[in-house]
Structure 1
Amino acid sequence: DKTLNDQTETGRFRKPHEKIVVADMYNEVFHDPPPADQLEKRMDDMCNFANAKTPDYFIHPVIRAIILHFWLAYDHPFVDGNGRTARALFYWSMLRNNYWLFEFVSISQIILNHPAKYGRAFLYTETDDNDLTYFMLYHIEVIKRAIAELHQYIRRKTEILQTIETEMQGILTFNHRQRALISHALRHPQQRYTIRSHQMNHNVVYQTSRLDLFDLEKRGVLESRKIGKTWYFTPAPDLEEKLSKSE
């Protein structure tokens, strides 16, 4: 929202009088997008390709997603935000084809951290009769690196959670029900708990459940909010840090 100085430019194609070029940090132009009067036809073609209406032979979904990324970036149909939109289109295509992992994989940061590599892959493709091999090989390496970084992140988080859970077993001030809830909260930081749900999960009376949750709130593990007649409890935003300090 409000990423453009002129909000009337939002969501529309660039016009013939709006000269849009892609330049490097030294303002050297390395890509001059197709004329604006061709955009409607080119975007129709791209949408047909995105929805697998064309061509009439199989294209691997990952390759299709990469081509869509290049296609929108090449056509540069908007006044601004073409890079973000191209990456969003790549994600959309991957998720649409059930590559659900890409809900958690970030290619954007890798591309933004190494803009020269992205620029060279784009330039090599354009200067070699739009041979997409260069861009595809580059993009596949980005995907591989992004997945590797996700795996590293998961390993780090798993080790941290396992350490906290192991050491939490020795904290006698938390009962077994509270430890179970904390363990769940560490893995589901957006989860909402109620006295009733905690009661049902541990087969205890209402008052015991209530004491458990309000005790955790008092210690800063949970935050509470009353909506109507129901109390809702959510994990503290800095739960992991608080538990680490309490060890």
Structure 2
Amino acid sequence: MTPPRWIWQQPTWPRFTWDGTALACPLRDCQQVQGRLLGMAGAAAGDLQAEDALDTLLSNIVDSSAIEGEQLDVGSVRSSLARRLGLADEAARRTTAHAEGLAELMLDATRHADAPLDLARLLQWHRWLFAASDELLPTRIRVGALRGSEPMQVISGRIDRPTVHFEAPPRDGLEAQVDDFIDWFNASRQDSALDPLLRAGVAHFWFVTLHPFDDGNGRLTRALTDLALAQAQPQAIRFHAMSASILADRAGYYRVLEASQKDGLDITAWLQWFLRTLHDSLTRALHRIDRVLAKARFWQAHREQALSAEQAKVLNRLLDGGERGFEQGLTARHYQTVAKVSKATATRHLADLLEKGCIRRLPGGGRSTRYEINAPAPGIPLPPCSMSTEDPKA
């Protein structure tokens, strides 16, 4: 007898197993960071929460498409989301049917967590994903319907010598397999023995392995994961974008999927990767909200200070950090560039900010004096159980 090549050929498919001991540490880390994220998000002002939720949803949409190599019109998608969330969008622009569909899909997955999953809902997601598909795709696909009878393979390499990375279950019996998945997805939400975060990881792996559509399986899988995470903790999903963390390790994502789909029904390696990536997503959100709260505290402490518009602009740049900050410190030349003032004015403004305690001088000499914001640096300590950065299938 030929041994199974693909996981779905295993006699007991899809009865997945995993090593609970190996997953205990990364699962605990995710739970701890998720709890801290919820606590910090609750301390943020309502308007900040709304803007952060918009940015998170936008990132999930854009990055999920980028994983598949599709570059979206970010402004159009943002405008579609902002309108649905009732938020003002200063850079509002004309939206497209594609952007509208993606916004509908993301909001349905994250805002309607209590609505049961059924085939009709999945098919609607597929229609939203491929709204205006005639304009987007070089060949037609079955929009809003399960895939056809052709073999569904993920391949790469030369046309005459393709490498088959994965082959999905055959079309015959696919409806029954999708129904089994949907039944499990709805019933498992009440399974107290299955941690909700592990449930999201199992759902992701199971659905992407079924590959039930001609196209869009990865994007719908990630939307389904967002739904599972929203069901686990509705507030937390508003603040972290898992697709961004998957995109950051796209090669690792495909590598562990391929290895796990060719293996037995023990999916411990996949779940380790999933939890590590979820932890990264939650930690990124934690740092982002920490910066927002630090910025609010800074301006509250200096609310009585008389500052010029140029000084406020530069301070906000410092507070925003990241790409918008000055990692090596602020110099008079930086100040000139950002504030668009003369060298003499920049020097005078910096001296005034130093006297008022808004900035502090960095140690060291050199040709240019450097400054940093005079506020506690945002910092999120690592949880006690550190996450491995090694690829479990390497």
TM-score scaled to structure 2, two decimals? 0.40
Aligned partners of 1:122 and 1:134 also within 8 Å = no
Q: Secondary structure at the match of 1:128?
A: coil
Gapped regions of structure 1 (runs ≥ 5): 174-247
Q: Higher Cα Rg: structure 1 or 2?
A: 1
Q: Which has the higher contact order (CA 8 A, sep 6+)?
A: 2
Which of 244, 259, 266 is the aligned partner of 1:109? Answer: 244
Deviates more, 1:106-115 or 1:57-66: 57-66
- 2:144 — aligned with what? 11
Aligned mates of 1:35, 1:172 — CA distance in 2: 68
Number of residues of Structure 1 aligned to a counterpart in Structure 2: 173
Aligned mates of 2:262, 2:251 — CA distance in 1: 16
Measured after TM superposition, the shift of residue 10 of structure 1 is: 1.9
Partner amino acid, structure 1, of 2:179:
D
Identify if the C-alpha distance between structure 1 residues 25 and 141 changes in structure 2 by more than 3 Å, giving closer, same or farther: farther
Aligned partners of 1:66 and 1:90 also within 8 Å = yes
Q: Establish whether residue 131 from structure 1 lines up as the match of residue 266 from structure 2.
A: yes
State percent identity of aligned pairs.
26
Deviates more, 1:164-173 or 1:120-129: 164-173
Aligned mates of 1:40, 1:66 — CA distance in 2: 22
Measured after TM superposition, the shift of residue 84 of structure 1 is: 1.1
Q: Establish whether residue 29 from structure 1 lines up as the match of residue 164 from structure 2.
A: yes
Measured after TM superposition, the shift of residue 168 of structure 1 is: 4.2
Gapped regions of structure 2 (runs ≥ 5): 1-97, 99-131, 309-394
Identify if the C-alpha distance between structure 1 residues 53 and 9 changes in structure 2 by more than 3 Å, giving closer, same or farther: same
- 1:236 — aligned with what? none
Aligned mates of 1:134, 1:60 — CA distance in 2: 17
Identify if the C-alpha distance between structure 1 residues 23 and 172 changes in structure 2 by more than 3 Å, giving closer, same or farther: same
Measured after TM superposition, the shift of residue 139 of structure 1 is: 0.1
Aligned mates of 2:192, 2:282 — CA distance in 1: 29
Measured after TM superposition, the shift of residue 86 of structure 1 is: 0.7
Identify if the C-alpha distance between structure 1 residues 140 and 25 changes in structure 2 by more than 3 Å, giving closer, same or farther: farther
Measured after TM superposition, the shift of residue 28 of structure 1 is: 2.8
Measured after TM superposition, the shift of residue 109 of structure 1 is: 1.3
- 2:296 — aligned with what? 161
Which of 57, 61, 75 is the aligned partner of 2:210? Answer: 75
Measured after TM superposition, the shift of residue 63 of structure 1 is: 1.4
Which of 258, 261, 283 is the aligned partner of 1:148? Answer: 283
TM-score scaled to structure 1, two decimals? 0.61
Aligned mates of 2:157, 2:244 — CA distance in 1: 18
Q: Establish whether residue 20 from structure 1 lines up as the match of residue 152 from structure 2.
A: yes
Aligned mates of 2:189, 2:301 — CA distance in 1: 54
- 2:79 — aligned with what? none
